[in-house]
Amino acid sequence: MEEIIHQELESQEYFINMGPQHPSTHGVLRLVLSLDGEIIRKVEPHIGFIHRSIEKMCEHDSYQQIVHLTDRMDYLSCHINNEAVCLAVEMGLQLEVPDRVKVIRTIIGELTRLSSHQLWWGVMGMDLGAITSFLYGFRDREMITDIFEETCGARLTMNYNVPGGLMFDIHPNFQRRTKEFITHFKKKLPEYDALLTNNVIFRERTVGIGILSKEDAISYGVTGPAARASGFSCDVREHHPYSYYPKVQFKEVLRTEGDCFARYQCRIDEMWESLSIIEQLIDNIPEGPYKAPTKAVIKLPKGEFYQRVETARGEFGVYIISEGQKNPYRLKFRSPGFSNLSALDHMARGSKIADLVAIMSTLDLVIPDIDR
């Protein structure tokens, strides 16, 4: 009898549609939650609201044009996405790009990572109810977007990379302004700790919440800071270095707890690492051309090319199959957001609605990156 009652109660789940329009899904992601009171029994992500079939579009575009489409996926690490396509094409052409290009790409890549993490930090605070952090994050991000604007005219979707190098040389002010930013941000990063990291309520909300073990992180294909917080060493910059990363000193941020706070702390520490990488390079930009000479129509030789890079969210891969034409026969992107989202159900089961928001923030999802 008791069993029947129990079953009856179990089956009465409270369904909630979180999204497609919801303040904390950060885009058009729809989560169907099965609730037991406030406790989450199941999370079912429904994606595809902004699917633009970018991969199919790429089959009809030249390699220079493909670069522009990658901006529209993970718009917060656009430069790094661009770089992945450029590196894949350069690999196919067996083109050696000048050192100047490599250094500038690395610096701007790290600036992109910083600006992405700043935005994430602000949004993370806002999801947990500390609205002030949002404004703090954007205040410092503004300086980076200003640098980008001066360098290439765009603030968000930059398209600064082209196969073979950069679209044009850096602005004369670039080094000075970047150094100004570093001195400014080194003073401001401890403020982030004062406002959120060391706050008792913030710790209560994040420590021990949404634990992802190392094994689960690997089996779900989670990458980036979310996986490194679980102790999975997966930094592409470290394991498969590209651009100028082999020649700079940095350490891969690893933590073992795998909870929301570890993921948070991982990104904060990555900001310090990014600052140190930029500091090493900013005074040592070698002279030389900003672009290796390429033909106007790039035709990759017949074959398959795969290039992976580390975006702010994790491992981003470009897989090109070429038939020797001016556009790829087939192209596939491996986006970090998609795999990271797949672990959400596993992490959120048994926690409260408020925890789901914290877990989603620490996964740092960008929806266009998932939907492509």
Which residues make up the interface to other proteins (CB under 8 A)?
14, 16, 22-24, 38, 125-132, 135-136, 139, 195-196, 199, 201-202, 204-205, 352-355, 357
Q: Decide whether 273 or 355 has the Cβ nearer to other proteins.
A: 355
| Minimum distance, C-beta of residue 139 to other proteins, in the bound complex (Å) | 6
- In the complex, minimum distance from the CB of residue 146 to other proteins, in angstroms, rounded to a whole number: 17
Of 275, 195, 259, 276, the closest CA to residue 225 belongs to 259
CB-nearer residue toward other proteins: 207 or 323: 207
> Please, what is the minimum distance in Å from the beta carbon of residue 143 to other proteins?
14
Instruction: Give least dist CB 26 to other proteins, A.
Output: 10
Alpha carbons 106 and 253: distance in angstroms, whole number? 18
Residues 39, 33 contacting (CB under 8 angstroms): no
Q: 16 vs 91, which CB is nearer to other proteins? A: 16
Cβ atoms within 10 A of the Cβ of 132, count?
12
Query: What tokens were used for 210?
Result: 């949404």
Q: How far is CA 323 from CA 302, 303, 304, in A?
A: 5, 7, 9
Tell me, what amino acid is at 81?
N
Please, what is the minimum distance in Å from the beta carbon of residue 332 to other proteins? 34
Nearer CB in complex with other proteins: 13/180: 13
On the CB side of 27, CA atoms within 13 Å amount to: 23
Minimum CB separation from other proteins for residue 329, in Å? 44
Distances in whole angstroms, Cα of residue 253 to Cα of each of 68, 76, 194, 228: 31, 20, 21, 7
Residue 324 near residue 300, CB atoms below 8 Å = yes
Quote the CA–CA distance of 99 and 101 in Å, as a whole number: 5
User: Measured from the CB atom, is 30 or 214 closer to other proteins?
Assistant: 30
Neighbouring C-beta atoms of residue 60, cutoff 10 Å? 10
User: H-type helices in 171-297, by residue range?
Assistant: 174-192, 200-206, 214-220, 225-228, 236-239, 260-282
* Closest CB to other proteins among residues 132, 284: 132
Query: Whose Cβ is closer to other proteins: residue 109's or residue 125's?
Result: 125
Residue 123 or 227: the one with the smaller Cβ distance to other proteins is: 123
123's tokens: 């949004």
Kindly tell me the sign of the dihedral angle through the C-alpha atoms of 220, 226, 230, 235: positive
The least CB distance from residue 135 to other proteins, in Å, is 4
Given the complex with other proteins, which of 72 and 352 has the nearer CB atom?
352
Q: What are phi and psi of 80, to 5 degrees?
A: -70, -35
Least distance between other proteins and beta carbon 13 (Å): 12
What minimum distance in Å lies between the beta carbon of 127 and other proteins?
A: 5
* Encoded tokens for 291: 């672009």
- Closest separation in Å from C-beta 240 to other proteins: 37
Gyration radius (Cα) of the chain, Å: 21
Which residue, chain included where needed, has tokens 């009809």? 60
Residues ≥6 apart with Cβ < 8 Å to 133 = 121, 122, 124, 125, 126, 192, 195, 196
For other proteins, the closer of residues 34 and 175 by Cβ is 34
